[in-house]
């Protein structure tokens, strides 16, 4: 962070979960009417306070560790140039890369320390904790080796699937989903399977007794969670390219997950233990991420690299899968989903995809502008119509949400662009809460 205004902006997403934790810790005796409830609430309070202490420790350790680690990466040549500052004095300054290794290491150390107290309180969840550690550690290793060796994309798609196997193997939750009310008639009518229901029942289990209220996806649900892990690890990686965006979006998503967890904990729902487990992981993650963001904020002194993107993505996949709210998790990934959908033509080579699609810096105006790719005047007319460009132009903006934002709103400074995108992330997460807690009740 470079100013008190930046600190204030960073405090906005974290303010709500911190207030909820204070409320939970201060008011637990009021909400509990029985001795057993008092003991449970007191245990929850103690654990949340311990996790907050670890989160603060993670922030302090990451903040102090990054400057030391960046000296080692510079010494070994693991550095790059800031392509968003071409034509300025900062363009030729080597920036240390792969600094995601710092918060990742601090996160793992803090999570291992949690095992000391967590093992006695929740011995049944130890398998979940160890599988989470294994998956996150594997992705941290993959990300760091990718920053050093530059793996081809085919490995980046396959290896996250392998990393998610420990999670899927120890998953002991339900594989059933609730069918939206408007769609239930398609599967069951008058306690009888429809034609579509008969076909679907060959691969999934349909609860006829409840008129198709739930369906058991079985192994297909595990496949879905494996795909979720692959999506999370790569979604943040392709929604990047400007100072502070990777760590910033992860920080906002982490805070949104915290609010969701604390809401469920405060409601004393039957899934309280799962959300307490998720809070443990996410609180430490948010603390470590904030320590990194301080150095990655504009103007960045370090780059987070694929190391951080994979580490963050797998952390979100872990809490979504083991916390049993994978569908809610996707509501917090709306900008990442939109970016993936909009980028699909370039990702699958339908249109040319340059190696770097980050926005272009105009040294004359010192503003960021949409980067483009070249094409013939008679090519990709469908895309030119989408952008409302003349049919004979030979350059088209690259298909990312970052470039689309610049195309729609006009050129802006890198810092303003990042703040705009993070504000959009906060807005989308807020929309996700509205969908989860207000709109969903009309469909399920």
Read off the pLDDT of residues 43-101 as tens digits, 9 standing for 90 and up.
778 888 888 999 999 999 999 999 999 999 999 889 888 887 877 777 788 999 999 99
CB 79 within 8 A of CB 97: yes
For each successive 10 residues of the chain (444 residues), what is the average pLDDT? Answer: 61 75 64 50 78 93 95 90 79 89 95 77 78 92 90 80 87 83 83 85 84 85 90 91 94 95 82 86 95 92 94 94 89 96 91 87 90 88 89 90 95 94 95 89 74
User: Burial letters for 316-345: b for 16+ Cβ neighbours within 10 Å, e otherwise?
Assistant: bbbbbbbbbbbebbbbbbbbbeebbebbeb
Output the DSSP codes for 350-392: SS---S--PPEEETTTTEEE--EEE--TTS-HHHHHHHT--TT
pLDDT of residue 99: 94
The enclosing H or E element of 128 equals helix 126-149
pLDDT of residue 2: 55
Question: pTM value?
Answer: 0.91
Beta bridge partner(s), residue 178: 214
Phi and psi for 166 in degrees, rounded to 5?
-60, -35
pLDDT of residue 32: 46
CA angle 61, 64, 65 (to 5 degrees): 80
pLDDT of residue 398: 93
268, 72, 67: which is closest to 276 by C-alpha? Answer: 268
Other beta carbons less than 10 A from residue 14's beta carbon = 19
pLDDT of residue 119: 63
What is the C-alpha separation between 122 and 93, in angstroms, rounded? 49
* End-to-end Cα distance, the chain: 43
């Amino acid at each position: 962070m470079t100013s008190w205004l930046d600190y204030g902006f960073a405090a906005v997403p974290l303010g709500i979960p911190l207030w909820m934790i204070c409320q939970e810790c201060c008011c637990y005796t009021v909400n509990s009417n029985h001795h057993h409830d008092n003991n449970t609430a007191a245990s929850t309070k103690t654990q949340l306070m311990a996790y907050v202490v670890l989160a603060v420790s993670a922030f302090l350790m990451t903040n102090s560790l990054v400057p030391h680690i960046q000296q080692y990466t510079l010494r070994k040549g693991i550095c790059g140039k800031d392509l968003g500052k071409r034509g300025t004095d900062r363009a030729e300054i080597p920036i240390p890369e792969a600094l995601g290794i710092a918060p990742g290491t601090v996160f793992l150390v803090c999570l291992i320390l949690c095992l000391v107290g967590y093992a006695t309180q929740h011995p049944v969840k130890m398998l979940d904790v160890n599988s989470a550690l294994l998956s996150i550690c594997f992705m941290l290793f993959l990300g760091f080796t990718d920053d050093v060796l530059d793996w081809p994309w085919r490995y980046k798609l396959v290896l996250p699937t392998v990393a998610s196997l420990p999670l899927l193997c120890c998953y002991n939750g339900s594989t059933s989903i609730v069918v939206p009310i408007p769609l239930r008639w398609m599967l069951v009518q008058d306690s009888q399977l429809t034609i579509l229901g008969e076909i679907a029942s060959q691969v999934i289990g349909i609860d006829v007794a409840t008129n198709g209220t739930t369906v058991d996806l079985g192994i297909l649900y595990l496949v879905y969670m494996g795909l979720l892990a692959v999506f999370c690890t790569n979604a943040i990686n392709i929604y990047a390219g400007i100072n502070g965006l990777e760590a910033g979006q992860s920080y906002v998503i982490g805070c949104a997950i915290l609010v969701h967890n604390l809401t469920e904990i405060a409601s004393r729902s039957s899934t309280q233990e799962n959300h307490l487990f998720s809070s443990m992981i996410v609180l430490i993650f948010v603390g470590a991420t904030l320590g990194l963001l301080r150095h990655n904020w504009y103007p960045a002194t370090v780059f987070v690299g694929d190391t951080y993107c994979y580490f963050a993505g797998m952390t979100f996949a872990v809490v979504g899968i083991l916390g049993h709210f994978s569908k809610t998790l996707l509501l917090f990934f709306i900008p990442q989903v939109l970016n993936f959908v909009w980028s699909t033509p370039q990702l699958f080579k339908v249109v040319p995809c340059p190696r770097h699609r980050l926005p272009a810096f105009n040294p004359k105006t010192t503003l960021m502008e949409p980067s483009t790719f070249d094409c013939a005047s008679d090519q990709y007319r469908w895309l030119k119509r989408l952008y409302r460009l003349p049919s004979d132009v030979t350059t088209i903006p690259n298909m990312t949400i970052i470039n689309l934002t610049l195309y729609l709103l006009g050129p802006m400074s890198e810092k303003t662009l990042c703040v705009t995108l993070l504000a959009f992330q906060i807005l989308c997460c807020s929309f996700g809460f509205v969908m989860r807690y207000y709109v969903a009740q009309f469909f399920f």
